[in-house]
């Protein structure tokens, strides 16, 4: 099964996950490290809330400010 970057269409190898690409945590598409973005999201913890940093693709970025 071919894996391609969900943003630029570059071909990726399954064994290179974490090295050349990561999976978008929102849409689950593979995204190469050139196109990946990291966002902080609030998580509700047992005792207190905390920020988790997750990889997301361009499409799932929060709306950009101009
Ligand atoms: Zn890409
Ligand atoms: Zn995505």
pLDDT-based confidence at residue 2 (cuts at 50, 70, 90): confident
Neighbours of ion ligand 2 (CB under 5 A): 24, 26-27, 57, 60
Q: Which of 40, 25, 32 is nearest to 9 (CA)?
A: 32
pTM listed for this prediction: 0.81
- Res. 47 pLDDT band, cuts 50 70 90: very high
Chain centroid, CA 55 distance in Å: 3
Give just the sign of the alpha carbon dihedral 63, 27, 51, 14. Answer: negative
Q: Could you tell me the distance, in angstroms and rounded to a whole number, from the CA of residue 23 to the centre of ligand 2?
A: 8
CA of 36 to the centre of ligand 2 (A): 9
Q: What is the mean pLDDT of the chain?
A: 94
Ligand that lies nearest to the alpha carbon of residue 7, given by its number in the listed order:
1
pLDDT greater than 80 at residue 1 = no
Give 36's pLDDT tier (boundaries 50, 70, 90). very high
């Amino acid at each position: 099964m071919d894996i391609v970057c969900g943003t630029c269409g570059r071909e990726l190898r399954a064994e290179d996950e974490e090295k050349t690409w990561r999976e978008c945590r929102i849409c689950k598409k593979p995204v190469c490290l050139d196109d990946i973005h990291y966002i902080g999201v609030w998580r509700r913890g047992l005792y207190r809330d905390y920020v988790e940093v997750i990889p997301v693709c361009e499409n799932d970025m929060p709306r950009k400010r101009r």
